[in-house]
């Protein structure tokens, strides 16, 4: 059975318990959706530089291929809401409208952040393959109001490797939720990104404080290099 | 309804459905000579929140509004401390200046004298950084729509709790002078992240703005 570890990481060689079997590890790909990082998605249409949110795509695609070959569990998440908006908190809708991207309103790729719309789909570079788990979430965190914890426990997963966007919002919220639940987390600096590069850097730095308050930071090459038989 | 100036915009709320949450103002984190300082942290960065928070608490209580306190900590047998947390924080459960570090019932685990809960005020004991995970906080907030968020530390327990609250549909107003981080860099970026993108996690203001509204 292949193992991972120790990964060269900051602030300690990951994971805390030396090495971990691939069968106890999952790769989480967070919200690689067209609306957030695809050409013509709403982040693009709002005038943000999507190269910042797309920056982690090539490294994530390469890592995905690597872990699929190893047989690791891959989980994708999508942020989105039901077409009738019954799972959309009123304040979230109000705030999105205020910045000109009202959830449920018409966007460049269908209704913004609505399940089933083209903009809500995962971009082709890191699209799920049949058999991979997809978690649809109404919030920033992938644990709240989803079955992610159940899926991970059912598969015997104890260690998580995190990729996705954006670093400071959905990736960080999910990492914090996972950390409180006892999962040993590794976030990959080259497989994440944010609309604000300063927030990307600060979010990664926060992880490493106080001996790794939320886990560790590494790169995808560090993970690939630490994979053994 | 009261409105306070805030970032990214004016924040309006109903006092009948608003609670003040005071996060982890514990001796282990705040007292000189305690656990936080023993890790090399400057506790003065956290202690500057005590005076404005005490003033806010007094006014809040005088107005008859609800307060909830939280404490991070674990059972004496550490059965609620995940191995990954214990390994990284190997001082948890060890003897410290103020008793066993971050263990329920110890002197250091309790809240500083200036901000001690009054009888009847709920105290939520949490094993993690977030105050919603593995606690009854959501149940306690059945009548609540808005949270006034204070406590420590800004980028760890305050941020995690605000993120959890935001996903659950609560509106959060974070008071910059009543939250603190050991690291000034994270204090500023932590507050900036909350108000970014139109207030992606909530609003940021100061206690003076809120005090004016509740003492009217």
Pairing of strands A184-193, A159-165: parallel
Q: Residue B58, class by beta-carbon neighbours within 10 Å (0-12 exposed, 13-18 middle, 19+ buried)? A: exposed
Handedness of CA B161, B166, B171, B173 (dihedral sign): positive
Residue in A with minimal Cα distance to B81: A182
Active site residue B24: yes
Contacts of B2 (CB under 8 A, 6+ apart): B12, B13, B15, B213, B214, B216
Q: Which of A75, A51, A26 is nearest to A223 (CA)?
A: A26
Q: Tell me the HSE value of A128 on the side-chain side, using a 13 A CA sphere.
A: 20
| Residue with tokens 């608490």, as numbered in its chain | B57
pLDDT in tens, A146-202: 999 999 999 999 999 999 999 999 999 999 999 999 999 999 999 999 999 999 999
**Nearest CA-CA distance, residue B61 and chain A, Å:** 27
- Cβ-Cβ contacts under 8 Å, A210 against chain B: 39, 89, 156
Task: Kindly state the helix (H) or strand (E) to which residue A184 belongs, with its residue range.
Answer: strand A184-193
pLDDT in tens, B158-171: 999 999 999 999 99
- Say what the pTM is: 0.92
Q: Which of B182, B203, B183, B209 is nearest to B191 (CA)?
A: B203
- H helices of chain A, in order, are 34-37, 42-45, 50-54, 57-70, 90-98, 148-154, 172-180, 197-208, 220-225
pLDDT on residue A94: 94
Mean pLDDT score, B66-73: 98
| Residue with tokens 């110890």, as numbered in its chain | B106
Cross-strand pairs, A7: A14
One of A31, A35, A44, A222 is an active-site residue; which one? A31
Q: What is the mean pLDDT of chain A?
A: 96
**Cβ separation of A139 and B82 shorter than 8 Å?**
no
Q: Find the CB nearest A95 among B89, B160, B199.
A: B199
**Nearest CA-CA distance, residue A202 and chain B, Å:** 7
Q: Which of A16, A92, A121, A96 is nearest to B84 (CA)?
A: A16
pLDDT on residue B180: 98
Q: Which of B70, B44, B42, B215 is nearest to B150 (CA)?
A: B70
pLDDT higher than 90, residue B41: yes
Is the Cβ–Cβ distance between B173 and B148 less than 8 Å? yes
Handedness of CA A200, A205, A207, A213 (dihedral sign): negative
pLDDT on residue A229: 61
pLDDT in tens, A41-98: 989 888 889 999 999 999 999 999 999 999 999 999 999 999 999 999 999 999 999 9
Mean pLDDT score, A8-12: 98
**Nearest CA-CA distance, residue B40 and chain A, Å:** 10
Handedness of CA B83, A226, A214, B35 (dihedral sign): positive
Q: What is the mean pLDDT of chain B?
A: 96
Q: Which residues of B touch A (CB under 8 A)?
A: 9, 39, 82-85, 87-89, 127-130, 133-134, 155-156, 159-160, 163-164, 166-169, 171, 183, 185-186, 189, 192-193, 196-201
| Beta-carbon pairs below 8 A across chains A and B | 106
pLDDT on residue A100: 87
For chain A positions 29-68, those within 8 Å of chain B (CB to CB) are: none
Nearest 5°: phi and psi at B185?
A: -60, -40
What is the spatial distance between Cα B174 and Cα B148, in angstroms, rounded to a whole number?
6
- Of A61-75, A92-106, B46-60, the poorest mean pLDDT is in A92-106
pLDDT in tens, A107-157: 999 999 999 999 999 999 999 999 899 999 999 999 999 999 999 999 999
pLDDT higher than 90, residue B216: no
pLDDT in tens, B76-125: 999 999 999 998 877 999 999 999 999 999 999 999 999 999 999 999 99
* Band of pLDDT at residue A228, cut at 50, 70 and 90: confident
Cα distances (angstroms) measured from residue B203 to each of A111, B134, B166: 26, 26, 11
Active site residue A31: yes
Q: Is A208 on the interface with B (CB under 8 A)?
A: no
Cross-strand pairs, B68: B21
Contacts of A51 (CB under 8 A, 6+ apart): none
Domains of chain B in start order, with CATH, are 3-214 (3.40.50.850)
* Band of pLDDT at residue A1, cut at 50, 70 and 90: confident
pLDDT on residue A46: 82
Neighbours of B107 (CB within 10 A): 14
Portion of chain B with pLDDT greater than 90, in percent: 96
- Cβ-Cβ contacts under 8 Å, B160 against chain A: 176, 180
**Cβ separation of B171 and A209 shorter than 8 Å?**
no
**Pair of tokens at residue A92:** 């979230």
pLDDT on residue A93: 95
**Which of B164, B183, B194, B202 would best serve as a mutation to test chain A binding (most A beta carbons within 10 A)?**
B164
What is the spatial distance between Cα B150 and Cα B179, in angstroms, rounded to a whole number?
5
């Amino acid at each position: 059975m292949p193992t991972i570890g120790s990964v060269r990481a900051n602030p300690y060689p990951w994971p805390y318990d030396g090495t971990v079997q691939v069968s106890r590890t999952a790769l989480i790909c967070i919200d690689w959706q067209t609306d957030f990082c695809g050409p013509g998605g709403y982040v693009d249409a709002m005038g943000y530089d999507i190269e910042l949110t797309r920056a982690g795509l090539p490294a994530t695609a390469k890592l995905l291929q690597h872990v699929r070959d190893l047989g690791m569990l891959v989980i994708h998440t999508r942020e989105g809401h039901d077409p009738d908006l019954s799972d959309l908190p009123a304040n979230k809708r109000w705030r999105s409208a205020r910045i000109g991207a009202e959830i449920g309103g018409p966007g460049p790729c269908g209704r913004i952040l609505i399940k089933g719309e083209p903009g809500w789909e995962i971009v082709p570079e890191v699209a799920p393959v049949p058999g991979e788990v997809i978690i649809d979430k109404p919030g920033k965190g992938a644990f709240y109001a989803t079955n992610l914890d159940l899926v991970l426990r059912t598969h015997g997963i104890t260690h998580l490797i995190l990729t996705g966007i954006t670093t400071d919002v959905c990736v960080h919220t999910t990492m914090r939720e996972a950390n409180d639940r006892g999962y040993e987390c590794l976030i990959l600096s080259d497989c994440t990104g944010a609309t604000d590069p300063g927030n990307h850097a600060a979010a990664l730095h926060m992880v490493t404080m106080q001996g790794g308050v939320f886990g560790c930071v590494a790169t995808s090459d560090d993970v690939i290099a630490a994979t053994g038989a | 309804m009261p409105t306070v100036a805030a970032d990214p915009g004016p924040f309006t709320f109903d006092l009948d459905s608003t609670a003040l949450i005071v996060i982890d103002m514990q001796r282990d984190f705040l007292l000189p000579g305690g656990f936080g300082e023993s890790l090399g942290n400057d506790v003065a960065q956290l202690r500057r929140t005590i005076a404005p928070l005490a003033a806010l608490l007094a006014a809040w209580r005088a107005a008859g509004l609800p307060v909830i306190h939280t404490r991070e900590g674990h059972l004496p047998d550490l059965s609620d401390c995940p191995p990954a947390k214990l390994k990284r924080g190997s001082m948890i459960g060890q003897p410290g200046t103020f008793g066993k570090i971050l263990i329920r019932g110890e002197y250091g685990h309790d809240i500083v004298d200036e901000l001690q809960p009054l009888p009847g005020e709920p105290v939520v004991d949490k094993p993690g950084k977030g105050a919603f995970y593995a606690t009854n906080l959501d149940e306690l907030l059945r009548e609540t729509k808005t949270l006034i968020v204070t406590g420590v530390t800004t980028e760890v327990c305050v941020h995690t709790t605000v993120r959890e609250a935001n996903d659950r549909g609560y509106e959060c107003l974070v008071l910059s002078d009543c939250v603190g981080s050991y690291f000034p860099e994270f204090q500023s970026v932590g507050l900036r992240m909350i108000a970014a993108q139109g207030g992606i996690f909530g609003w940021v203001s100061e206690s003076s703005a809120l005090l004016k509204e509740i003492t009217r």
